[in-house]
Amino acid sequence: MKDYGFIRVAAAVPVVKVADIKANVDEICALTDKAEAGKASIVLFPELSVTGYTCGDLFGQRLIADAAWDGVLRIMEFTAGKSVAAVVGAPVRHNGKLYNCAVVLHNGSIKGIVPKIWLPDYNEFYEARWFSSGRDFLSGNTDSGISPNLLFRIGKAVFGIEICEDLWTPVPPSSYLALAGAQIILNPSASNDVLAKHTYRKSLVSQQSARSVCGYVYCSSGFGESTQDLVFAGTSMIYENGIRLASNKRFGTESSITFADIDVERLDTLRQKMNTFGAVAPDGTSHTAYGKLYREISLGETPETDFRTRLYRHIDAHPFVPEANSPEADKRCSEIISIQMTGLASRLAHIGCRTAVVGISGGLDSTLALLVTALAFDKLGWERKRIIGITMPGYGTTDRTHDNAVGLMEALGVTAREIPIAAACDRHFADIGHDRNIRDVTYENSQARERTQILMDVANQTGGIVVGTGDLSELALGWATYNGDHMSMYGVNASIPKTLVRHLVGWAAENRFGPDAVPGSGKSAKEILEDIIDTPISPELLPADNDGKISQKTEDLVGPYELHDFFLYHFFRSGYSPEKIHFLACKAFEGKYDSQTVGKWLETFIRRFFAQQFKRSCLPDGPKVGSVSLSPRGDWRMPSDARPDIFLSGLKDIR
């Protein structure tokens, strides 16, 4: 079975009986069984889960410490023959001191013991009253098996452990553990709940997983802990690089177990790309704050897990698009357009433009470019009449797109011009000796270049620049005519993929335009934008069908843009192999595209992406909006003659 770079982890919150070690061990063993059945490689339990966190001065009783250790040994024996590594919280006596520890148990043995470093001694917490700090072990070697400086390798993953309060410190131990090679951090915790604390706690875990580029498994005490003064909600949550993968329902009265599949391969790729990650540590494996090397302990291989059957992880089918109806969706759309608009406004002001020229087709890309241009002029306090929108009907222009183009320009109050190109193209075909009845690439590209020539010349004529309309998806596929729509003087959509273009136009229709009808058309700007969204994507370079409708549909030719945007995101951002991209796409689009269809268009994407690099090597300037950009000046530097063979070979077994 192929693991695709994933490792399954679990966070288990047992119902606790304070100081009833036998009952607690029984519950931990039952949950360990569930983790094993669920094919988890690691299961994490809360802080001091063997005894209960709220034992108070009972921790000073030798009987409790001895019984707790016996309980740990029972759990150790229970793990014999199992693949899952269990990490349990227990008080551990060592050299006459008591330590709050996480004990790593695997296949019938104790693999290591990690003591808590930072002990709270304030408000309701008085841990320093009973426990000694794990700092005691920082100056010695790690061969004793008890140390904060232990790393544990299981399969392809390395994990480290910090305990509860350790995370809340200015520089958490997990920062050093990550620099030492841990891709996953485990945090057995006992964090009580007061108003708004959970929000801050989530923020801490999210930010630490993002800053350390790691998976972070957090598991806190729950029902059964003493409520004499505090309440524990039993929080478990699993994050990866700032994103929540899974969490449980808090304030439950029964034990719970939460699974998630962490993508270790992705974390390794992100760390590799982020050269500042390792640069902050003197040698990448140690840190002067510890002054010693970490010790890595091997736990063997992970259990065989069929991730194709069940993946504990949400795969977003549209990774570029804000989640619908989420609290952040409106803010993200506003910020994206603000970045585009500010970039263009700065360029216009810098070069002292009198006008901006935009080719308006009635399609999505030119619509977004015109909206951004109008907002840029508003920001600069310039009249929108200085924007020259030009619609250039040709052989394939339909009434629907033409009317939408004209109506949109009227709605925005820009200067509208109409310059048909059919006669000019006929003359050009005569000049070069091309039969206009032969509808080949010459027939199509001549129209695109004629339109670009018009835009460039009008920009010269009016003292302006041409605002480009091409988007990120088209750049990835090379779906643009070289020196035609491929070229402009500033490309505002260069970092916006097609799925996001559609979303932004829809957002503008809902949030920026009212119901007032456009004079002469009977439609409001919102209605025009909504109709543009519903129009099939097409370059309209071939004549319409007998019903006057669009005959040349882009997605019929190169494939669905939602698939290509998915491929682009994971190829660029995560460095995934085609095989893994195919696997994830089949999960994300399950029920919509079958495996063969995904494989077909993935092959198209790879072939076109490599063959069309020469177009991306000479792109005009444009604002970077998201984490994926194909600008040759910084984000994507690739030789135009690179071969795709090694990438295509990986598709043979899945097609």
Tens-digit pLDDT profile for residues 27-46: 999 999 999 999 999 999 99
DSSP letter, residue 517: B
The C-alpha atoms of residue 613 and residue 630 are separated, in whole angstroms, by 10
DSSP letter, residue 140: S
CB neighbourhood size of 417 (10 A): 15
Tens-digit pLDDT profile for residues 326-341: 778 889 999 999 999 9
pLDDT at 282: 52
Can you give 258-275 as a three-state secondary structure string? EEEEEEHHHHHHHHHHCC
Give the helix ranges, DSSP H, for 463-553: 472-477, 498-511, 525-534
Q: CA neighbours within 13 Å on the CB side: how many for 271?
A: 26
Q: Are 135 and 146 in contact (CB under 8 A)?
A: no
The C-alpha atoms of residue 77 and residue 91 are separated, in whole angstroms, by 18
Domain boundaries, the chain: 6-298, 329-649
The C-alpha atoms of residue 464 and residue 305 are separated, in whole angstroms, by 60
Specify the CATH number of the domain 6-298. 3.60.110.10
| Mean pLDDT for back-to-back runs of 10 residues, the chain (655 residues) | 91 97 98 97 98 93 95 98 97 94 98 94 75 84 79 96 94 93 97 92 96 97 91 96 96 96 96 80 46 82 90 95 84 95 97 96 96 96 97 94 94 96 96 95 95 98 97 96 95 96 93 66 82 86 76 84 97 94 96 95 97 96 94 93 91 70
Q: Are 121 and 127 in contact (CB under 8 A)?
A: yes
pLDDT at 553: 77
Q: Are 128 and 101 in contact (CB under 8 A)?
A: no
- Structural tokens at position 404: 């939408």
- Structural tokens at position 37: 């059945």
The C-alpha atoms of residue 624 and residue 630 are separated, in whole angstroms, by 9
- Structural tokens at position 361: 């087709």
* φ, ψ (nearest 5 deg) of residue 25: -65, -40
- Give bridge partners of residue 416 from the DSSP assignment: 389
Q: Are 367 and 532 in contact (CB under 8 A)?
A: yes
Full strand arrangement of the beta sheet holding 355-359: 415-418, 387-391, 355-359, 464-468, 490-491
- Catalogue the active-site residues: 47, 116, 164
Architecture field, domain 329-649? 3-Layer(aba) Sandwich (3.40)
The C-alpha atoms of residue 638 and residue 12 are separated, in whole angstroms, by 46
Q: Do domains 6-298 and 329-649 have the same CATH topology?
A: no
